[in-house]
A and B are shown apart, each in its own frame.
Chain A
Amino acid sequence: MQAMKKTLMAVAMSAAVAVTAQAEGVSDDVVKIGVLADMGGVYADICGKGCVTAVEMAVEDFGGEVLGKPIEVISADDQNKPDVGSAKVRQWIESEQVDAVNGLVASSVTGAVTKVLTDAKKVALISTSASHAFTTKACSPYNVHWTYNVAALANGTVKPMVDSGKKKWFFITADYAFGHALEGIATKVINEQGGEVVGAVRAPLGTTDFSSYVLQAQASGADVIGLANAGTDFVNALKTSAEFGLTETSDVAGLLVFTHNAKALDPAIAAGMKATTGFYWDMDDQTREWSARFKQRHGSIPAMGQAGAYSMTMHYLNAIKAAGTDDADAVMAMMKATKPDDFFARNAYLRNDGRMVHDMLLVSIKDAASRQSDDDIYNIEAVIPGDVAFNPMMESCNFAAKS
């Protein structure tokens, strides 16, 4: 592993030097970062305006300019619609000379947008999407996938549960690309660890009543009910599970839990539940310091994708400074050649396929008695090293060889 990393670094470094020789300075005299996210829909809290705030904070902390040129942040609402998102980004590229797009939440939107960005040779800074496609079958030399992905969630939450003897699983899955990906990768982990999946139901996105699915899960006799969904779907599924007594007979595992959703749950039903996250505000002094500044500006504690958006922007701007240009190829090479290191990115490095590998956290939801404040939600159970959490790079994503 270490040897491979070194070779990668060397290749990336030399590429960086080669490209910087061609392009110097900042094109059109401004570095412009677009933030694209769901601003008013179901995913608004986990990225949305908070991601815009995080990127603006990064730009300010960086000093507002790079290589003597100003840094500008613009933003737009993608309404969770791939067509709206890709049209906006196309417009940004054509008339706004955007250099990179940050944010990016719903995997369906990100899929559409990264294609546009790759064609235009602009950088995609993916903060909140979960699908692992952007660094596997849909990988691109311009994709940077920062905060987490479905593989890390499955490895982080599912593996230890199967190892501890919870062998029979049943899934309640959100019926679209993200849910399928999460269920698929979790199933793989379960089978590899000697467990089995006894059944699954696919619930449409935005289902409010999960009681039918919970009854089916109950009838399956599984040890663990895996919730391969997110946001309000996850909240509703868990609440219903508790109501129908499922949480007393089986374990319920949330595979993607955001702090904002965990906060919306009654501690009486959610306490003890384990989840994997890319970031938690109350980890140490560094995370608390940044989170306090964020909360002061935004009004609530940061979700993991918002912290990721900040960290990723910093790394991007540092790379421009080090490369002496905002040319995407040179910046990507520099980002991969230097290790990010801040309150968010711990033991981190950006892999050649665009996957940012960093320590993930295994957390459990606190019960009501041990909470000091409204924001006090998680116990940190363990730190999962990046190489354990994220799947290794795929051979098929060797775009260096492809191109």
Chain B
Amino acid sequence: MATLFGINLFALSGQLLVGLINGSFYALLSLGLAIIFGLLKIINFAQGAMYMLGAFLAWMALQYFGINYWVALVLVPLAVGGFAILIERFLVRPIAKEDHLYSLLLTFGLALILQGLFTQLYGSSGLAYQIPAELKGGTKLPFMYLPNYRAWIIIASLVVCATTWWVIEKTKLGAYLRAGTENPQLMQGFGINVPLITTLTFGFGVALAGFAGVLAAPVYSVSPEMGSNILIVVFAIVVIGGMGSIGGAILTGLMMGVVEGLTKFFYPEASSTVIFLVMVIVLLLKPAGLFGKEA
């Protein structure tokens, strides 16, 4: 085995790739949060619960209706997004003019309710969801065995993240979106329905979490706790990337996955804290985050 300074290089390059896979999940989830915060100034603490909901809906779709993974990958984000639209319309909007803290508390409460509900209904042990037959097995790379499904996670999340970034930053629709949140009165004057845009944006941001949930269902066990575990990490990533920076959220998500992977290799005990350590350092040196604009 090739080694450098006593480090097993095969194992190390494997770790880098694995870090990138985890980073894909972080990127998807933090992107949703960044869109919702960046454009609507809502701190959505229910994002983790929506990720959990996505995984559960995929499981329920298969169990009760025989809907397979590929169909679920399209339908579930739509359902989760639709649910989010209801939340935005009837719960978030009435308090949107108040301090950000109110939407934070509201979504946090929602997350707890959802988590409690699923624990009550399905218990805490988790449910099994199979990897779709087309993606079973793996590829033998020179330095590691790469499961096909993990490779698919990287591809799917990169495509979705890149498309989202492109739509928001480079298209006319994205421009309306950004302008509408910058100066709602003016845009309303141009005949653009700003509340509708807001609602749809919220729905889309949350749908990303639902999408990540379906992607996660086959590799992690579908359990009520899965969202709360990942949420805090994802928030730290959004802070590191710069609150509201779309590109920052994606890049930082991928980067933090790799940082975490390396920590697991060199000092596993610190792997659950390393991201927060990075957050502290970044906040001290660059309070607006790596890619954020100074206020």
Q: Give me the interface of A with B, judged by CB distance under 8 Å.
A: 40-46, 175, 201-204, 206-209, 211-213, 215-216, 218-219, 231-232, 235-236, 239-240, 243-245, 258, 260-261, 263-266, 300
Q: Which residue of chain A lies nearest to B273 when distances are taken between CB atoms in the complex?
A: A204
Q: Does B132 contact A (CB under 8 A)?
A: no
Q: Which residue of chain B lies nearest to A259 when distances are taken between CB atoms in the complex?
A: B125
Contacts of A235 in B (CB 8 A): 125-126, 221
Q: Does B188 contact A (CB under 8 A)?
A: no
Is A243's CB under 8 angstroms from B125's CB? no
Q: Does B81 contact A (CB under 8 A)?
A: no
Chain B 107-134: CB-based contact to A (< 8 A → 1; otherwise 0): 0000000001001000111111011000
Contacts of A215 in B (CB 8 A): 11, 14-15, 18, 144
Is B119's CB under 8 angstroms from A204's CB? no
Q: Please judge, given known A-B contacts A212-B18, A213-B264, A236-B221, whether A42 and B124 are in contact too, CB under 8 Å.
A: yes
Contacts of B195 in A (CB 8 A): none
A203 to B269, CA, bound (A): 6
Q: Does B21 contact A (CB under 8 A)?
A: yes
CB < 8 Å neighbour of A219 from B11, B138, B223, B226: B11
A35 to B14, CA, bound (A): 46
Within 8 A of A (CB), among B35-55: none
Is A239's CB under 8 angstroms from B221's CB? yes
Is B15's CB under 8 angstroms from A245's CB? no
Chain B 186-199: CB-based contact to A (< 8 A → 1; otherwise 0): 00000000000000
Looking at B119, B124, B149, which has the most chain A CB atoms within 10 Å of its CB? B124
Contacts of B163 in A (CB 8 A): none
CB < 8 Å neighbour of B147 from A202, A207, A216, A244: A244
A47 to B15, CA, bound (A): 36
Is B221's CB under 8 angstroms from A232's CB? yes
Q: Does B229 contact A (CB under 8 A)?
A: yes
Chain B 255-291: CB-based contact to A (< 8 A → 1; otherwise 0): 0000001001100110110000000000000000000
Contacts of B220 in A (CB 8 A): 208-209, 236, 239
Is A202's CB under 8 angstroms from B229's CB? no
Interchain nearest-CB distance for A174 vs B (Å): 12
Q: Does B8 contact A (CB under 8 A)?
A: yes
Is A42's CB under 8 angstroms from B225's CB? yes
Interchain nearest-CB distance for B265 vs A (Å): 6
A201 to B15, CA, bound (A): 14
Is B8's CB under 8 angstroms from A212's CB? no
Is B119's CB under 8 angstroms from A40's CB? yes
Q: Which residue of chain A lies nearest to B271 when distances are taken between CB atoms in the complex?
A: A204
Is B264's CB under 8 angstroms from A243's CB? no
Interface contacts beyond A42-B225, A211-B22: sample of 5 additional A-B pairs, CB < 8 Å, sorted by A: A46-B125, A212-B15, A212-B264, A213-B264, A213-B268
Contacts of A236 in B (CB 8 A): 220-221
Chain B 39-74: CB-based contact to A (< 8 A → 1; otherwise 0): 000000000000000000000000000000000000
Looking at B125, B126, B130, B150, which has the most chain A CB atoms within 10 Å of its CB? B125
Contacts of A43 in B (CB 8 A): 124
Is B265's CB under 8 angstroms from A208's CB? no
Within 8 A of A (CB), among B197-233: 219-221, 223, 225-226, 229-230
Is B229's CB under 8 angstroms from A264's CB? no
Contacts of B230 in A (CB 8 A): 208
Q: Give me the interface of B with A, judged by CB distance under 8 Å.
A: 1, 8, 10-11, 14-15, 18-19, 21-22, 116, 119, 123-128, 130-131, 138, 144-145, 147, 149-150, 219-221, 223, 225-226, 229-230, 261, 264-265, 268-269, 271-272
Question: Would you give 27 A-B contacts (Cβ < 8 Å), ordered by A?
Answer: A40-B116, A42-B124, A43-B124, A44-B119, A45-B125, A175-B269, A201-B268, A208-B220, A208-B229, A212-B18, A212-B265, A212-B268, A215-B14, A215-B144, A218-B11, A219-B1, A219-B10, A219-B14, A232-B223, A232-B225, A236-B220, A239-B220, A240-B219, A243-B138, A244-B147, A260-B123, A266-B128
Is B144's CB under 8 angstroms from A243's CB? no
A215 to B138, CA, bound (A): 14
A43 to B264, CA, bound (A): 25
Q: Which residue of chain A lies nearest to B18 when distances are taken between CB atoms in the complex?
A: A211
Contacts of A212 in B (CB 8 A): 15, 18-19, 261, 264-265, 268, 271
Is B128's CB under 8 angstroms from A265's CB? yes
Q: Which residue of chain B lies nearest to A38 when distances are taken between CB atoms in the complex?
A: B124
CB < 8 Å neighbour of A245 from B8, B123, B138, B264: B138
Interchain nearest-CB distance for B21 vs A (Å): 7
Is B128's CB under 8 angstroms from A245's CB? no
Contacts of B131 in A (CB 8 A): 243
Q: Please judge, given known A-B contacts A215-B14, A235-B221, whether A244 and B269 are in contact too, CB under 8 Å.
A: no
CB < 8 Å neighbour of B226 from A45, A208, A240, A265: A208
Interchain nearest-CB distance for A167 vs B (Å): 21
Q: Please judge, given known A-B contacts A40-B116, A209-B220, A215-B11, whether A263 and B138 are in contact too, CB under 8 Å.
A: no
Contacts of A264 in B (CB 8 A): 125-128, 221
Is A202's CB under 8 angstroms from B138's CB? no
Is A244's CB under 8 angstroms from B10's CB? no
A180 to B220, CA, bound (A): 24
A207 to B18, CA, bound (A): 14
Is B147's CB under 8 angstroms from A243's CB? yes
Contacts of A42 in B (CB 8 A): 124, 225
